[in-house]
Amino acid sequence: MKDRRGRRNPLADADQVRRATGLVTAGAIGLGGVLFIQAGVSSIGVDELDQQVISIISALLPGTSAPAPSPGGTPIVVSGGS
Amino acid sequence: MTTPSPLWFIDRSAGEVTLLLMTGAMVVGTLRAALPSTSPAVFEGIHTNLALLTVAFAAVHIVASLLDPYAQLRVIDVLVPLASAYRPVWLGLGVVAAYLYVAAVATSWPARRWRRNPWLWLHRTMYVAWVVALLHSLGTGSDARNGLFLVLNVAAVAGALTVFIGIRILEAWPTSPKRSAVLAGLAIAVVVGLSLWAATGPLQAGWAKASGTPPELLRSR
């Protein structure tokens, strides 16, 4: 009986490389997103970052805008105590 | 008054991810060289893909820095070291690291183009490129004092040092102990030097001014 230890299947290797690369790519993009938010929030704050991202999306995709109350709708105001 | 834009944050986050991917490619490449019979195709494939992914993130880092109106970088600033008005020395180190990296990738992919010895020595300049990139990251980066960025940089240094001493040095020790001891000492000295410099420079208040940030940007902070 032949010893099959040490022999590698090129297709299995390629699949392993593909999966590892996909995982690292997803991780890198995710980490990039986290660092983007971290850098933005620590520099200009959540609200300003939010506004800037919305303005960029609006510039890239004309016709989109930040969510607003529907016309004629009554804004709900929550206040504390009387 | 100029305020940082989302492109500025894309630039900074992509730069940090580039450094981490570069560290990963270096670690896997070192493992590949040290363990030639352990899944060579897998190690080789992951090393190559990590190196190419590093190039992709570096491209995002560079393009975002050019498009961003905050630091007002020009094309010449990302091509010629010291040409920039924004933190010229530290940004210039990034340009040098990029050239070293591109040279190593271009001579290796899709196939090795040089004879083994010159190629190997050129490939080993990656260790220098990595140190230069780390200096660029700490010196130019606005996030040296940011907790998450700092933790990631420390992890990258710890990983690179562990692999360099634990694999490269121990591997060469039986045949050339003196040379290995010198290289290990040099690696430790570089890390200690980097840590001291970071503690007294980029991690201190006032680094933005000391590193060469233009006065109009300092006023806008």
Of B32, B49, B17, the residue nearest A20 (C-alpha): B49
Distance CA B198, CA B86 (A): 19
CB contact under 8 A, A35 and B3: no
Dihedral class, residue B4 (left if φ above 0, else alpha if ψ from -120 to 50, else beta): beta
Stretches in chain B below the pLDDT threshold 50:
1
The pLDDT, as a whole number, for residue A1 is 46
The mean of the pLDDT values for chain A is 78
The pLDDT, as a whole number, for residue A70 is 61
Distance CA A35, CA B70 (A): 18
CB-based contact B61:B14 (threshold 8 Å) = yes
The alpha-helical segments, DSSP class H, found in B107-176 are: 116-140, 147-163, 170-172
Residue A82 pLDDT level (bands cut at 50, 70, 90): very low
CB contact under 8 A, B57 and A32: yes
B94 or A76, which is more confident:
B94
Query: Does the pLDDT of residue A3 top 70, yes or no?
Result: no
What residues in A contact B17, CB-CB < 8 Å?
28, 31-32, 35
The pLDDT, as a whole number, for residue A75 is 58
CB contact under 8 A, B142 and A56: no
Of A3, A34, A54, A47, the residue nearest B146 (C-alpha): A34
B8 or A27, which is more confident:
A27
Of B5, B113, B32, B207, the residue nearest A55 (C-alpha): B5
| Cβ under 8 Å to B: A residues 39-58 | 39-40, 42-44, 48-49, 52-53, 56
What pTM was estimated for this model as a whole? 0.85
CB contact under 8 A, B45 and A21: yes
Distance CA B119, CA B107 (A): 7
ipTM of the complex: 0.86
Q: How far is CA B82 from CA A11, B15, B36, B212, in A?
A: 47, 19, 41, 11
Distance CA A41, CA A47 (A): 8
